């Protein structure tokens, strides 16, 4: 176990709870992982909105 070099490292270790994952990926790996998770959730929300909008348009046309 290496000691965190900064407060950010310590916070990420604490938040993730996955010390080994953090140490293997490094800071940029963890940031990339968080960005990926955020983007995928935004994409799924956008798809839901698009689906609802399409259904609304179909219902109005019927």
Structure tokens at 36: 């990926």
Residue with tokens 């490292």: 9
What are the domain boundaries of the chain? 7-61
Q: Is the pLDDT of residue 62 over 70?
A: no
- What pLDDT score does 2 carry? 56
- Of 38 and 11, the structure prediction assigns the larger pLDDT to 38
pLDDT in tens, 12-60: 666 556 556 666 667 777 788 788 788 888 888 989 999 998 988 888 8
């Amino acid at each position: 176990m290496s000691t965190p070099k900064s407060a950010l490292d310590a916070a990420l270790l604490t938040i993730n709870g996955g010390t080994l994952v953090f140490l293997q990926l490094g800071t940029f790996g963890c940031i990339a992982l968080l960005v990926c998770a955020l983007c995928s959730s935004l994409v799924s929300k956008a798809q839901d909105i698009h689906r609802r909008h399409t259904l609304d348009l179909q219902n109005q046309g019927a």
